[in-house]
Amino acid sequence: MNITVMGTGYVGLTVGTCLAELGNTVTCVDIDKKKIGGLNKGIIPIYEPGLAELVRRNVEKERLAFTTDSAEAIASGEVIFIAVGTPPGKDERADLRYVLAAAKEIGQKINGYKVIVTKSTVPVGTGDLVADTIRQHRKTAIDFDVVSNPEFLREGEAVNDFLNPDRIVVGTTSERARKAMEKLYAGIVRANKPILFTDVRTSEMIKYASNAMLATRISFMNEIAQLCEKVGADVKDIARGMGLDGRIGPRFLQAGAGYGGSCFPKDVKALMRTMQDNGMPGLILDAVEKVNEMQKHSIVPKVKQLVPHLKGKTIAVWGLAFKPKTDDMREAPSLIVIPALQKEGASVRAYDPEAEKVATSLFSDVAYFKTPYGALKDADCLVVLTEWNEFREIDKEKMKSLLKEPNIVDGRNVYAMSQMREMGFNYIGVGRGNGNRN
């Protein structure tokens, strides 16, 4: 099929490239000339495992192209994905200006029946706004359908998640659009990983409800972790004990330094606003958000338990990205922790396998190192903020010899507490209140 993807960010680039890999002819459009110029030279604007190779292969096979010319791309697409950003607006509602600008362009340039697919995460009712906008701007009464098809990929696992999704959700009541979407996803759907067809509004809500549920699990466990620290219990064992219950399951039960990224924080806030717009207080999501903020702010007090006076001290920070396998720092705990350490008078030595470039544009007064060991040298304490695998397999004796004091605040519970303490580290994790367990 001929596919057009409007917006070539994390989602648009991944979706477009994977659909090309499945044999479609895909044109990815973006208004960012630099990004498109770079992609046309083979420069991938984000770090995402496996994506660069897939882009190269599909460009070579002439199934994938990048352009800023939306007119031609819209005219040629049978299915047009809108995958532009929906950042939080001033009032924390999703800012729909990019989605509606894309819809306007589609309206102006539509030249025959097309399926318009909203891939961006959009509040319930946006499908109707997109359809109204296209109708307003089309020159003749050309027929089209607006379909909701939210994306569930995770940064760091984007390619695999798109090609092996747990489910594909499609919101449409049009039989014609349903057939087009079935054809599009035929190469991905498996018997146990179905396409769920529903109406547009329900589909829009499934995306927000899913993200909000995952964020709720994290905040719930972080609040349990806070209690563990007070009463002498271990949140890691609690997560294991809970996760073995088939009704609960083991995933998204890890306490840590709080969730971040481009999705959970903004989607939780946007869903809460939608509730409030509909006369509901949004009690659960309000608490989810508050606990998450508390958690991000709980790291520096832990550092101060080990290094009470931070003025003039040096703190090593491992992990700047909001999670492993990405260089994305949007809403990352490091954005709260580093300025708070600096405010107390500490200097920061940082290491992240991928996010250094992004971090440099955010923090000029941090010293960056090419290895985790480099960042440790003569530091008074190490703070772990992202659970990159290379931190798990690290040489702990070397860690100890490099640190000025063997102090660790493990904001992701990466290490076995008993082992670290036996080795002579002053170790504080998250929710590890009993002091002597794994």
Could you say whether residue 120 binds ligand NAD (CB under 6 A)? yes
Cα gap 159→177, rounded to integer Å? 25
**3 state DSSP class of 125:** coil
Bridge partner residues of 197 (DSSP): 170
Give the relative orientation of helices 283-297 and 334-343 as an angle to the nearest 10 degrees. 50
Smallest separation (angstroms) from ligand NAD to the CB of 399: 32
First to last CA, the chain: 53
Could you say whether residue 212 binds ligand NAD (CB under 6 A)? no
Measured from the CB atom, the residue of 120 and 226 that comes closer to ligand NAD is 120
Smallest separation (angstroms) from ligand NAD to the CB of 40: 14
Could you say whether residue 7 binds ligand NAD (CB under 6 A)? yes
Cα gap 382→190, rounded to integer Å? 45
Instruction: Pick out residues in 143-182 that bind ligand NAD (CB under 6 A).
Output: 151, 153, 155
Smallest separation (angstroms) from ligand NAD to the CB of 4: 10
Could you say whether residue 262 binds ligand NAD (CB under 6 A)? yes
Residue 437 DSSP label: -
**3 state DSSP class of 115:** strand
Binding mask 20-49 for ligand NAD (x = CB under 6 A): ---------xxxx--x--------------
Could you say whether residue 12 binds ligand NAD (CB under 6 A)? yes
Smallest separation (angstroms) from ligand NAD to the CB of 280: 22
- The CB-nearest residue to ligand NAD is 9
Could you say whether residue 133 binds ligand NAD (CB under 6 A)? no
Name the one range near ligand NAD by CB under 6 A: 83-91, 136-144, 311-319, 333-341.
83-91
Q: Which of 11, 341, 346, 409 binds ligand NAD (CB under 6 A)?
A: 11
Could you say whether residue 86 binds ligand NAD (CB under 6 A)? yes
Residue 382 DSSP label: E
Cα gap 153→155, rounded to integer Å? 7
**3 state DSSP class of 193:** strand
Name the one range near ligand NAD by CB under 6 A: 81-89, 109-117, 242-250, 276-284.
81-89
Name the one range near ligand NAD by CB under 6 A: 57-65, 97-105, 221-229, 417-425.
97-105
Could you say whether residue 101 binds ligand NAD (CB under 6 A)? yes
Measured from the CB atom, the residue of 32 and 237 that comes closer to ligand NAD is 32
How would you class 175 by CB atoms within 10 Å of its CB: exposed for 0-12, middle for 13-18, buried for 19 or more? exposed
Sequential DSSP letters for 147-186: EE------TTSHHHHHHS-S-EEEE---HHHHHHHHHHHT
Q: Tokens 């260089």 label which residue? A: 327
How would you class 392 by CB atoms within 10 Å of its CB: exposed for 0-12, middle for 13-18, buried for 19 or more? exposed
Q: Return the sign of the alpha-carbon dihedral for residues 53, 47, 157, 371.
A: positive
Name the one range near ligand NAD by CB under 6 A: 2-10, 361-369, 399-407, 420-428.
2-10
Smallest separation (angstroms) from ligand NAD to the CB of 112: 20
The secondary structure of the chain in percent helix, strand, coil, rounded to multiples of 5, reads 45, 15, 40
User: Residue 103 carries which side chain, given as an amino acid letter?
Assistant: A
Measured from the CB atom, the residue of 64 and 379 that comes closer to ligand NAD is 64
| Annotated catalytic residue, options 18, 28, 228, 263 | 263
Could you say whether residue 284 binds ligand NAD (CB under 6 A)? no
Measured from the CB atom, the residue of 6 and 335 that comes closer to ligand NAD is 6
HSE, CB side, 13 Å, CA atoms: give it for residue 65.
15
Q: Is 263 a catalytic residue?
A: yes
Q: Which residues carry out catalysis? A: 263
Give the residues lining the site for ligand NAD (CB under 6 A): 6-12, 29-32, 35, 83-86, 98, 101-102, 120-121, 151, 153, 155, 262-263
